[in-house]
Amino acid sequence: MLVVVVGLVGGTSSLLGYWKTNQRLGRPAVKVVPQATFDWQGNVVATNSVYLPERVLDYESSVVSVTKQEVAMLPKDTTYGRRVYKAPDGLQIWCNAILMGTDRTSIHKPEYCLPGQGWAIDARRKEQTSILIDRPYRYELPVMKWIVNGVKETTNGQKAEVRGVYVFWFVADNELATSHLKRFLLLSRDLFLRGVLQRWTYVSYFSVCYPGQEEDTYQRIKAFIGATVPEFQLATGAVSSEILSVAPPESR
């Protein structure tokens, strides 16, 4: 038994060594531009960034810096893209894209980062859904929608209960996923069968609202996603069922 275990361990190590030596990186599924990314102190943490449009619909935006925790925890070859968008009525939407390099630990679970920011996850309010994207053709983008709970301090120092609407997905070259499990299975498949380490990107949108406003806020995020995704995401989904259900014109 000991001989078998040692053999398996040795074989696995050799195989992993072979993959590490011979693997090639996949293409990013998001636009990467030569624009520096800065940390909370104004230091450059990356010379490139994931492109996010400056203006979307009637929203204006500003760049959000990388946090101290992210600099400490994420691999050095991680590429970031993040902006906060503000509508004329004050609604804010945070858009965040994290692109991995050669280390898949760039992509972290929202189950970890949201509680670390003071948000409580309600398992009953997690939902997989889809958003219709109309460019470059109409397709359904699979996403996860979470409603999370938090507390906000008002201007007069009082505590108020708030909700967070969090929409996210994972994208790689010609691949989309809404869960870490599916992303890991696709990553493993491509690595084992093709020798390709796909560069996955974790894309998320987040907005804060008061209880009772969750659905209205989600609808606004949904429209915002429909407008922004064609600007930076290169991978697309299958043709929308709306198109497939349309009968072809009669031949004449």
Residue among 211, 190, 233 at smallest CA distance from 23 = 190
Q: pTM value?
A: 0.85
pLDDT per residue as tens, the chain (252 positions): 554 434 444 444 444 455 556 678 999 999 999 999 999 999 999 999 999 999 999 999 999 999 988 888 888 999 999 999 999 999 999 999 999 999 888 887 778 778 878 899 988 999 999 999 999 999 999 999 999 999 988 777 788 999 999 999 999 999 999 998 999 999 999 999 989 999 999 999 999 999 999 999 999 999 999 999 999 999 998 776 654 444 444 433
- Enumerate the β-bridge partners of residue 205: 95, 167
Question: What DSSP letter does each residue of 114-132 carry, written as one string?
Answer: HHHTTPEEEEEEEEEEEEE
Angle at 174 between CA 170 and CA 177, to 5 degrees: 25
Is 208 within 8 Å of 216 (Cβ atoms)?
no
Is 99 within 8 Å of 27 (Cβ atoms)?
no
Q: Where are the domains of the chain?
A: 25-236
| 67 contacts: CB under 8 Å, gap ≥ 6 | 39, 40
CA dist 69 and 18 (Å) reads 33
Residue among 93, 95, 96 at smallest CA distance from 79 = 96
pLDDT of 3 reads 47
Dihedral sign of CA atoms 137, 174, 35, 71 in order: positive
Residue with tokens 């995401």: 233
pLDDT of 107 reads 86
CA dist 143 and 121 (Å) reads 17
* 145's tokens: 């929608």
Is 205 within 8 Å of 221 (Cβ atoms)?
yes
